[in-house]
Amino acid sequence: MKNITTSYDGLFSFYYKYVIKKIIKIGNLNKETRILDFGCGTKQLEKILLSKNIINYDIDSKYSEVKDYENYKYDIIVINQVFMYMDSHEIEKFITKEKNKNKNCKLVVAVSKHNFFVKILKKLFFQKKISFVKSNFDQQLSLIKKLTNIEKSDSLFSNLKIYLLSFK
């Protein structure tokens, strides 16, 4: 599997940690909140929140703490820059399944615009290919609006949007 997990080392660690802090704020997350960190990568949310109530799941077994998150209970799902690696069909299926499991569950979703500026930065500093991105910002936002209610939103520069969502 290609490594598509955010690197929290070096120049941009401050930026990525700032994003996590915004996620914690918008979701009003604390140590008691039962959280599914979907696409957890290197588990930065757990490291910053210092919580034992986080289920860290990632499609990449190198990062995932659980094989399957289906049997766990959680009050909120954090999805930080993961939907872009899923196509529209996969995103819709995921949201619908979670709604059917627990309609009261909330979502905090961070969506990157992956605009021209970011592409240049990634090429310059990370040498990362981003050709495996499966859905763009507009596709993700249109599904978010179709399937959920936006309760709160925040943004970081013009590049990243963070939403607190409830199911429709």
Ligand X SMILES: C[S@@+](CC[C@H](N)C(=O)[O-])C[C@H]1O[C@@H](n2cnc3c(N)ncnc32)[C@H](O)[C@@H]1O
Binding interface with ligand X (CB under 6 A): 4-6, 38-41, 44, 58-60, 63, 80-82, 85-86
Strands annotated E in 16-117: 35-38, 54-57, 76-80, 106-112
Q: Which is nearer to ligand X, 35 or 86 (CB)?
A: 86
Minimum gap (Å) between residue 55 Cβ and ligand X: 12
Minimum gap (Å) between residue 12 Cβ and ligand X: 11
Six-digit token pair at 99? 């709604």
Q: Which is nearer to ligand X, 63 or 137 (CB)?
A: 63
CA-CA distance, 39 to 108, in Å (whole number)? 13
Q: Is 166 helix (H, G, I), strand (E, B) or coil?
A: strand
Minimum gap (Å) between residue 5 Cβ and ligand X: 4
Q: Which is nearer to ligand X, 56 or 148 (CB)?
A: 56
Minimum gap (Å) between residue 120 Cβ and ligand X: 18
Six-digit token pair at 6? 């955010």
Instruction: Write the DSSP symbol of residue 95.
Output: H
CA-CA distance, 91 to 86, in Å (whole number)? 6
Q: Which residue is nearest to ligand X (CB)?
A: 41
